[in-house]
Each structure stands twice: as C-alpha cells, then as structure tokens.
Amino acid sequence: MANPFTLGVASGEPMPDGVVLWTRLAVDPLNADPARPGGMARRAVEVRWQLAEDERFTRGLRQGTVQAQPSWAHSVHVRVAGLKPGADYFYRFRAGGELSPVGRTRTADNPAAARPVRFAVANCQRFEHGFYTAYRHLAAERPDVVFHVGDYIYESRQAASVVRPLGPVPGEVSRLHEYRLRYARYKTDPDLQAAHAAAPWVTTWDDHEVADNYRGKGDGSAAFLRRRAAAYQAYYEHQPLRVRPEGGNLQMYRRRTYGLVADFMVLDVRQHRDGSTMLGAAQEQWLLSRLGTSPVRWRVLVQPLFFARRFVPGPPPNLRPDSWDGHQAERARILGANASGLVVFSGDVHNFWAGELKADFLDPASATVGVEFVGSSITSRPPQTDGPAVLAANPHLKFFDDRRGYLSCVAGPEELRVAVRALDFVDRKGAQVRTVAEFLTKGDGLTSENTSSK
C-alpha cells in the first residue's frame, strides 16, 4: 500500500482518563471516484495503533488493532481509556507497512485539580481564501486543548478570487462523496495537520459544514435531509468524535470539564434549530441545568454565533437574525441563570471582538453577568465592517480587530486570560503571529491589557 496517512492524525474529546485517536486512510486523498474514496479499495483494512508516555514509545505503551471500514471512508476512531489525568501522551498508527506521523495528545485534569488550563479557539477556514499559517503558530504553542467553533469546511462553490484552488470538486458540494472530497482537500494542508497533531481538539459545527445558514431540518424535504445526513457522516469521518451519527442525526452538544477550573459546554446551534429556538428544548434544559450546578470556577460556552447584542448601524437588518440577536428570549433565559464565571467563546463573523454580557443590553448601567470573546477566522475573508461605528453603538462591546488569527487562553482558579493572536496576511505564506490584545476577567467584567485595536 502507498502511504495511507495523507490526511494526518488527530486526537480529541479529552477526558480525565481517556481520549479519542483519529486517522483516515487515503492513498489518493483527492480521488474523485465515489466508489473509492481516498483511492482505497472497498475492503476493510487492519490498522494498528500505539499510545505511550514518551515520543519514543518506550514508557507505558498501549496498543491494539482496529478495522478501518469502507462504509466510513476508512476512518478510524479509537477510544483509549485508563489513562492518567492531566498527562501528555503520544500516539501513532500503522497500516499496510506504513507508519503515520506521531501526534501529541493530553487528557483532561483530575476532577479535584485546580491547575490552569491552556486552550485555543479557532474557526472559519475557507481553503481557497488563504494559507493556514495561523495553525502552524497555534501548533507551536502546544495548548492542552483546541476548541473549533465551526465552519471547518465550506460547502459552497469555489470563490471567484482564490489564493489556492479547491481542486477536483470546485462546485458546491451536497452528496457524501463530495463532502468527503472537500474535507480531504482541507486536511491535506500541512499546517492544519500540524495543529491536529499538536493537541487534542473538541469541535462543534456551524452552517457551512452542511449548507449556508441552514436551520434544523431545512425545508423539511427528503432531499435536504439526505444532504444533511451525508454532511453529518462526512463530519464524523473527519473529526476525532466519540459518537457516530445515527438515523441522520449526530449528538453534538456535550461538556468537557477540566478539574475545578472550567466546564466547557459545547453547543450545537444548527441541528435542533427552528424559527422559535436556537438550541431546542432538550439542549436548553441541559445547558441551564449545567450552568446552575457545575462546581467550577468558569462556566464556558463554546459555540459558533455572536452571543451579545450587536447593533450594526446602517441599512437593516441592524440586528443579524442568524446570530443570537435572532433568539433574544432564549439568550435572556441563559443570562438569567446568573451563572458565576460565565464566559462565551464564539466565531462566525471573521473579525475579533470582545465585550461584556449585560443583564440588559439596552442599559449600559445594568449588571455585567459575563464576558464574550469572538475569534476571527483562520482564513475566511471578513465582510465590510465599520468596527468603530459598531463599538460606538454598543457600549458593552470593547474591542474590534479585522485581522485573521485565533485566541490563545489560560483559565485559572482566580482569573481567565485571553490573548488575541493575529496575522497581517494569509494570501501568501510566512506571516508572523503577534498578540494584538490581551484581556483579563476575574468574573466581574473585562479588563484589557496591551491592547491596540485595529
């Protein structure tokens, strides 16, 4: 067999005693034949996995074999349990005589631990819009965990102006083999592979993993539900998830807890959505219960969409209906839980923002009940935005920057720090990353340090 590890390796869903290891075999990752995704024959392939406490695989070695099945595009999801909490591990795969690159992963902390958690937040990485240089820098930071808040791929046809071409399927994708090819195009990128190999990831989706601005069951047609099921399957095949899709659905909302420091509540703002709800009744009830009972310092919402009120001056709609401004009553119920240490991480809008969450957004003097940090895109181009005008119209919003990049964060027992890590260009390789703003919260609002808003 030729090298089957062309899409790299990954790990994810860290718990105190285990992680999920991922790879997908693809000897020809951009092979367009629907019957042979990744250029693989339609038969199962045995894959051996190894995990150890050191990069030479001499300490605490664990290993086993799994069958990579053609029905799941020869993707592999290995659930490893019985590990030490808050510990680094290294892993690799072997198939057909070939050895994969080595990945680093890390388990979550012991439930009683108070050690600070280092994490990154990324989103929106349209392939043809630029190079993934930001991921190379993120990988070098070796965080404990990376949260991806959506638009991992874009289903839309190739942009009119490209930095690099999409390849064999430049049109809009809607069928399983097309989604698989789109993921393969993205995951052949060496910088994205480096970021996955550097730390475990916890992902959630937004709309472009299926279709632009879709909600729930879309138009309810059989055609759309087939498309959504195909997109969900392809998403699972290319992410280190613990659960498989069933019946065209995929369980996405979940929590990942790090000791007594942080409870990361990962939300699904698409699958259960309709005109009256963003989350659906069951997910909202789960969230409100966790906000009220979680015994941690920081209650962190990890989700794609701008959470705070954002009035955009100019022609209507001044409040964007696809964001939480389109579900104000539901947002008010979440804020009304009065959860201490509430922090929201968001994405979607392709710019950096930071602000405070208010009990009444129309009353600047009302109580501050949390903070929000919005990560910019890795590559996706931003809409034309008059940042200063939006800041002036929304006193609770404190910061705007229109560069590409990611958020680098540390949550500790006393405070949570967020660094805005930005690149000046992505249309060519070689951009340096720099911290253009730093924020600190102790649970009573937002303090900025070393901030130069652009």
Q: Say what the alpha-carbon torsion angle 274, 277, 278, 284 is, to the nearest 10 degrees.
A: -130
Is-above-0.95 flag for pTM? yes
Q: Tokens 């138009």 correspond to what residue?
A: 219
List, as one string, the DSSP characters of 238-267.
Answer: TS--SS--BTTB----EEEEETTTEEEEE-
Spell out the per-residue pLDDT of the chain, length 454, in tens.
899 999 999 999 999 999 999 999 999 999 999 999 999 999 999 999 999 999 999 999 999 999 999 999 999 999 999 999 999 999 999 999 999 999 999 999 999 999 999 999 999 999 999 999 999 999 999 999 999 999 999 999 999 999 999 988 999 999 999 999 999 999 999 999 999 999 999 999 999 999 999 999 999 999 999 999 999 999 999 999 999 999 999 999 999 999 999 999 999 999 999 999 999 999 999 999 999 999 999 999 999 999 999 999 999 999 999 999 999 999 999 999 999 999 999 999 999 999 999 999 999 999 999 999 999 999 999 999 999 999 999 999 999 999 999 999 999 999 999 999 999 999 999 999 999 999 999 998 999 876 655 4
For 52, the 3-state DSSP assignment is strand
Sorted by where each begins, the domain ranges of the chain are 110-152+252-447
> What's the CA gap between 248 and 228, in Å, rounded?
7
> What's the CA gap between 392 and 372, in Å, rounded?
17
Angle at 207 between CA 39 and CA 417, to 5 degrees: 105
Q: Domain 110-152+252-447 has what CATH class?
A: alpha beta
> What are the DSSP E strand ranges found in 376-452?
397-401, 404-411, 416-423, 433-441, 447-449
